[in-house]
Amino acid sequence: MASHASALKKNRQDQKRRLRNRAHAGKLRTQLKKMKQALEGGDAKAAAGIMRETVALVDRTAKHGVIHKNAASRTKSRLAHAVARIAKPA
pLDDT at 1 over 80: no
Per DSSP, the three-state class of 68 is coil
pLDDT digits (tens, 9 = 90+) for 55-79: 999 999 999 999 999 999 999 999 9
Nearest Cα residue to 21 out of 78, 62, 82, 54: 62
Domain architecture of the chain: domains with CATH: 5-87 (1.20.58.110)
Residue 90 has a pLDDT of 55
pLDDT at 9 over 60: yes
Angle among Cα 9, 14, 18 to the nearest 5 degrees reads 155
Mean pLDDT to the nearest integer, 8-36: 96
User: DSSP 3-state helix, strand, coil percentages of the chain (rounded to 5)?
Assistant: 85, 0, 15
At residue 11, what is the residue type? N
pLDDT digits (tens, 9 = 90+) for 25-47: 999 999 999 999 999 988 888 89
Is 30 in contact with 53 (CB distance < 8 Å)? Answer: no
Query: Quick one: 86 exposed, middle or buried, by C-beta within 10 A (0-12, 13-18, 19+)?
Result: middle
Per-residue pLDDT band at 3 (split at 50, 70, 90): confident
